[in-house]
Amino acid sequence: MLPFRLDGKVAAVTGGGSGIGQAIAVRFAAHGAAIHILDIDEAAGSDTCHRIAAAGGTASFQKCDVTLQADVTASFEELFRRERVHILINNAGVSHIGTVESTPEKDFDRIFQVNVKGFYNCMHVMVRHMKNSGGGVIVNLASIAASAGLPDRFAYSMSKGAVVAMTYSVARDYLAHNIRCNCISPARVHTPFVDDYLQKNYPGREREMFEKLARSQPIGRMGEPEEVASLALFLCSDAASFITGVDYPIDGGFFNLRG
């Protein structure tokens, strides 16, 4: 018997078409959950569903732009008409590189719309559903950028700091409704974003720069999406029923072991 089973649970995963979101969706399905992928990229979201189905799991896809509350509401209400949703993984997000001086207003607004308003939109709809159906679990994907002064990450750090604050607020406000809310703050994780970033900014030097970024974690490597998925699985399982309002770093020793 696999630990941390999610049999009978339904999980909605935003940004489940790639990277950490995809890893969480696949891991949850392997542990018994039925998965609903919400992603703006239809091809990527459908690919995740095909992977889950090929492994014997249950998954469906809904195209959704998390920045639009009407779109989020319509997508979730369609799910609610079919079944109760027990778990929300708020994962859809975008990154940005720049200081406060070099960040254009349009880039700042985009980061806020996706990483802050998008998380709010999903929780705004989901909390009401969970209140009316006996509770649930929310896991928000934050970042160590929320708490550490990372260079050239002004707008991204702002958005992830907001995610941590929203997590604490929701956890506190809905204790009496059996809704647990936690967040996960990874350090660098090897996702397609990293590969695209290196290819765009360091053509011909991708391997060299990858190793440099990997070594910035004291443990000597980047995290893998599947490792974040394992932590998310624990937090959404009944084994974590006494845990709420916590920001969990998964950082290879970044905070406590840096020289």
**Containing structural domain, residue 154:** 10-187+223-250
Domain assignment of residue 145, yes or no: yes
Q: What is the rounded average pLDDT of the residues 223-239?
A: 97
Q: What is the rounded average pLDDT of the residues 153-176?
A: 98
Q: What percent of the chain has pLDDT over 90?
A: 88
The answer to whether 225 touches 23, Cβ cutoff 8 Å, is yes
Domain assignment of residue 1, yes or no: no
Domain assignment of residue 165, yes or no: yes
Using CA of residue 159, residue 138, residue 234, residue 248, what is the dihedral sign? positive
- In the sheet with 58-63, reading across from the earlier edge strand, the strands are 58-63, 34-39, 10-14, 87-90, 136-141, 179-186, 247-250
Domain assignment of residue 255, yes or no: no
Mean per-residue pLDDT of the chain: 95
Tokens of 119: 């998380």
Give CA–CA dist 133/130, Å, rounded. Answer: 5
pTM: 0.95
Which of 120, 156, 202, 248 is catalytic? The answer is 156
Give CA–CA dist 145/161, Å, rounded. Answer: 7
Q: What pLDDT score was predicted for residue 2? A: 64
Domain assignment of residue 5, yes or no: no
Give yes or no for residue 1 having a pLDDT over 60: no
Higher-pLDDT residue of 200 and 105 is: 105
Domain assignment of residue 4, yes or no: no
Domain assignment of residue 86, yes or no: yes
Res. 220 pLDDT band, cuts 50 70 90:
very high
Domain assignment of residue 227, yes or no: yes
Q: Look up 120 and say whether it is catalytic.
A: no
CATH code assigned at 134? 3.40.50.720
